[in-house]
Chain A
Amino acid sequence: MKKYNSERIPKTERITKLVEHLYAKLPEIESARAILLTESFKQTENEPMIIRKAKAFAHILEQIPIIIREGELIVGSSTIAPRGCQTYPEFSYDWMEKEFDTVETREADPFYIADQTKRELLEADAYWSGKTTSELATAYMAPETIKAMEHNMFTPGNYFYNGVGHFTVQYEKVIAVGFEGIMKEVEEALAGCQVGDADYATRSRFYEAVLISCRAVIGYADRYARLAEKEAAGCSDPIRRAELLQIASNCSRVPAKGAQTFHEACQSFWFVQQLLQLESSGHSISPGRFDQYMYPYYRKDLEEGRLTREQAQEYIDCIWVKLNDLNKCRDAESAKGFAGYSLFQNLIVGGQDENGRDVTNDLSFMCIEASFHVFLPQPSLSIRVWNGSPHDLLVRAAELTRTGIGLPAYYNDEVIIPSLMSMGLTLEDARTYNIIGCVEPQKAGKTNGWHDAAFYNMCRPLELVFQNGIDCGEQIGPATGEVEDMQTFEEFYEAYKTQMEYFISLLVNADNAIDQAHAERAPLPFLACMVDDCIKRGKTCEQGGAVYNFTGPQGFGIANVADSLYAIKTLVYDEKKVSMADYKKALTFNYGKEVNELVVAQISGKVAREFAMNGVKADSATVASATQEILRQSVTAEDQRKFKELLELIENVPKFGNDDEIVDKFARDAAYTYTKPLLKYYNPRGGRFQAGLYPVSANVPLGAQTGATPDGRLAGVPVADGVSPSAGKDVHGPTAAANSVSTLDHGIASNGTLFNQKFHPSALSGEEGLDNFVSLIRTYFDKKGSHMQFNVVSRETLLDAQKHPENYKHLVVRVAGYSALFTTLSKSLQDDIIRRTEQGF
């Protein structure tokens, strides 16, 4: 007999309606939380911060409007409007006020905001001037760090302006013993404190804060119980009335007490998931191994005849809908980097237990089924893959991939487990890892991973090598010498490493300053009671309460850096086909192509600097006219010819992503310029820095801040995505690209790597297509790749590419073993390929 039931389960009408309701309108910004938070803070001015936070949380949960949406079986909404969001002025607020009038019309993730809401937020926000984590973090930063950030060397925007998030808590503990159980543990710890203890003051206040928070959560659930009862009383439909009474009964039991049924376990899970995100604004609060901790409740109900598989599926589907009901408004720039209203609530199925046995169960399949049913971006569904993973599970996952939803992502136990152990996790903790947010592995309920701590653009230090550490006329990096004087490639590479190490140290400074600000101004008592060893140590996660502490900023643009370094080595030093002076000029003038803002900013910066060095006081108009003069005169016809020739030479230098051993090893080494120096550093919580190599979608906006690079990439164009080859540069198909990417050291990037591949759906057609697809993943993982995800090109994408070919220059489609750049094909062929997207399912 199989150890799991993988039968498909149909979707119910309820789920269709819940999804329709959720997406009927533009999401809305609400003010209730900000008002309540501020009210509470005004009344607790002289109390310890942790108590103030707990009291504010309690005040919010007592007063915030609540709603049960039509047809819901799992309740708890942070906003009245579907997919609405609250605001979190305690972290930062000024960006939102500045964007009040554009937030509704912006391209990435627009939100509706009512005029009255604007007024209410302005009033609440006024209190927070000088009190936010972002202001304190800035005060802690070194001046050179702030300068580097102004010059777009890296951006720690995430936690600079928001809560940290990026946790998986002990859901299983809450579901098992309830907050009453946790409160008992905390009360005992509090009783054990002696007034004479050195840390009595902070420790006892911490426990009190946890108790206030737990009581508040129980009270919040009770408000829902009463609301459900009230609605049941007024409900004429007997079926819905029974459902509402069940909701009332669930909410009066959980999360105060341990869950007795699967339905209660689902409700208990949901309150934790929702309220963590109401306590702070962090994203990537990840449910983790849902199929594991929910399984005992499912099995028991099934065995005792209380539940059918269909009912269980519907509860899971309801949770999937709710995960999309939570929302967050980011500033316009960040919204571009995280486009798609994504909260990155990562939920992972499959994998091993602490003893190394496969744990795939019914729920692993039902979680995939729920993503089929709901067909929405949340949760970020992930699959753990190892040699013992059942083929069935991967084939079902591949079927989901084939729909084009971009889920699930696949993770390799065989790389991630040893990688986590290299960072100090025990074997048991490493084996039971889950993924946070995009791709970051960690041990649930024990880790404050500070994953996603910054975006570090590896191309920018390369620009500074060419400019001797000067950017837009300002010396922001080390003076590594004039690039024309570098006699050997080793000298050039050394200069790059020097620039890298310097800016990595500033990145660390920025992250640590923000870390400190969170410890002081944003301790989170509710979160702390579900992460070990916070209760034992009497500290929040922000103050170092977690067992494992990390900071994981992610580098990106490896493919560009590797291709650039290799092109310079080949063309300037080995073959001596181009002089460094000519290369530099080509980069300065964007290879003679469009003169965009980036080009102008660099040149006018240089002009201003020269005026200043010669003691000339020049106003901006003088600088601008001198800049125009340079742009007009400097690029001769001869230069244009040279630029063109250089681009052709670069084109012919081998590129990362084509299974070329020499270039791939070069890329492996180039990635070390980021991953290795970071490992030297520690954060204020006593944990280490660890590198990630993934960009979310920031490779586009941050590419817009990057000048021309020596790999032939023009100024402002997106940089490479994750560890993937540069767009359009991998021309030998998926296996060659996967081989190249697997050459990188994924193990040292313990904060995760991201490898994206694009497919035409015909590549996955039929059972054989799925089998082959699974084989591709398995082989990439045999070769020690860490993560893989897939975009299956949709019909809509191809239609859009026909209309706007300029946006899809690199779109490769592979059909029937034939691959081509889509936009170079004739219209009739494009039409055939579009037609083919509909076949094969």
Chain B
Amino acid sequence: MENILQTRGRIFDIQRYSIHDGRGIRTIVFLKGCVLRCRWCCNPESQEFGIQTMRVAGKTKVIGQDVTVEEVMEVVEKDRGYYRRSGGGLTLSGGESLCQPDFAQALLMAAKSIGINTAMESMGCAPYEVIERILPYLDTYLMDIKHTNIAKHKEFTGRANDLMLLNARKIAESGMTNLVIRVPVIPTFNDTPEEIASIARFSDRLPGVSKIHLLPYHRLGQDKYEGLSREYLMGDILPPENEHMAMLKKTVESVSRLKCQIGG
């Protein structure tokens, strides 16, 4: 246990009272570094593994901090009462947590060893052996599936999706975690009924998967691009209308048996 608690990793934020990422009231630990470069990413400061600076409300802020599992757990532990009342717990997010597999695994093990529920938001973009190590300590896997078309996926995120789709199947077949599929609904990328239906059909065929979340695109990360002196490529794209989201939800329900919800 000592080793686990002393495992070090790099995070860029810890957010308490998070209620849209897994069941109940949760604490999200954001791990730094990502394999993808999604154009709509609302946490652009998560992408680089390296420590950076960003302008936030007129001040320069250092993004990225090296911490031990013990230090993270000290914060996670503070909201234990809220987890107990709400069925919440710890959620790992990023970035892509699988970029720091030892750290991610140690965090999940530490939480499970003291009875805290665990979840991870991830694209599953890593060799399956890495994922397999983590699964015994993970209650819920919130897996992003952004598109079923390889070329379009690559165009908008910088990488093809074949490994991720394969991993999704393996994770589902392992039966070791509760797999929930999440789809960021991005206008111009995947917001047509056909594209969403295709993701829904794929997800529906995964054994044990019963839930899919459609997450409407938002621009809340826009100011961060400026803070990082980067250009925001999605600036003139508006978030999808409520009616459009409702229509997509109906589409999912008509082509699959999945329980679909809008938002996390």
Interface on A for B, CB 8 Å cutoff? 659, 732-736, 739, 763, 765-766, 768-769, 771-772, 775-776, 778-779, 782-783, 814-818, 820-821, 824-826, 828-829, 832-833, 835, 838-840
Contact = CB atoms under 8 A, between A and B. Distances in A.
B187 interface: no
A733 B20 CA distance: 14
Interface in B73-91: 78-79, 81-82, 84-86, 88
Contacts of A826: 222-223
A840 to B, nearest CB: 8
Given A817-B19, A824-B57, A826-B223, A736 B78 contact: yes
Interface stretch (B21-29, B94-102, B152-160): B21-29
Residue of B17, B25, B221 with most chain A CB atoms under a 10 A cut-off: B17
B144 to A, nearest CB: 15
Contact of A832 (B20, B28, B239): B239
Interface of B: 15-21, 23-25, 28, 42, 57-58, 78-79, 81-82, 84-86, 88, 218-223, 239, 242, 261, 263-264
Contacts of B86: 771-772, 775-776, 779
Contacts of A769: 19
B16 A839 contact: no
A735 B79 contact: yes
B18 A817 contact: yes
A441 to B, nearest CB: 24
**Which of B19, B239, B263 counts the most chain A CB atoms within 10 A?**
B19
A732 B15 CA distance: 7
Contact of B19 (A768, A778, A832, A833): A768
23 contacts: A659-B78, A735-B17, A735-B78, A765-B263, A766-B261, A769-B19, A771-B86, A772-B86, A772-B88, A775-B24, A778-B85, A779-B84, A782-B85, A815-B218, A816-B263, A816-B264, A817-B15, A821-B57, A826-B222, A828-B222, A829-B223, A832-B239, A838-B242
A765 B16 CA distance: 18
Contacts of B57: 821, 824
Contact of B24 (A772, A783, A832, A835): A772
Contacts, number: 92
B21 A817 contact: yes
A775 B85 CA distance: 5
Contacts of B79: 735, 739
Contacts of A763: 19
Interface of B (DSSP majority class): loop
A816 B218 contact: yes
B16 A736 contact: yes
A763 B25 CA distance: 11
A734 B78 CA distance: 12
Q: Which of B16, B82, B84 has the most CB of A within 10 A?
A: B82
A829 B220 contact: yes
Contacts of A736: 16-17, 78
Nearest to B241: A835
B82 A816 contact: no
From A816, A826, A835, name the one whose CB has the most chain B CB atoms within 10 angstroms. Answer: A816
Contacts of B20: 816-817
Contacts of A818: 42, 220-221
B85 to A, nearest CB: 4
Given A735-B78, A832-B239, A817 B28 contact: yes
A775 B81 CA distance: 9
A832 B242 CA distance: 12
Contacts of B261: 766
Contact of A779 (B18, B23, B85, B219): B85
A826 B57 CA distance: 10
Given A739-B78, A817-B18, A832 B220 contact: yes
A782 B17 contact: no
A779 B82 contact: yes
Contacts of A768: 19, 23
A244 to B, nearest CB: 47
A662 B20 CA distance: 31
B19 A732 contact: no
A734 B220 contact: no
A768 B23 CA distance: 8
Given A782-B81, A816-B220, A772 B263 contact: no
Contacts of B221: 818
Contacts of B84: 779
B264 to A, nearest CB: 8
A833 B218 CA distance: 9
Contact of A828 (B18, B21, B23, B219): B219
A808 B196 CA distance: 40
Given A771-B86, A828-B222, A829-B219, A733 B78 contact: no
A775 B25 contact: yes
Given A775-B24, A832-B220, A733 B17 contact: yes
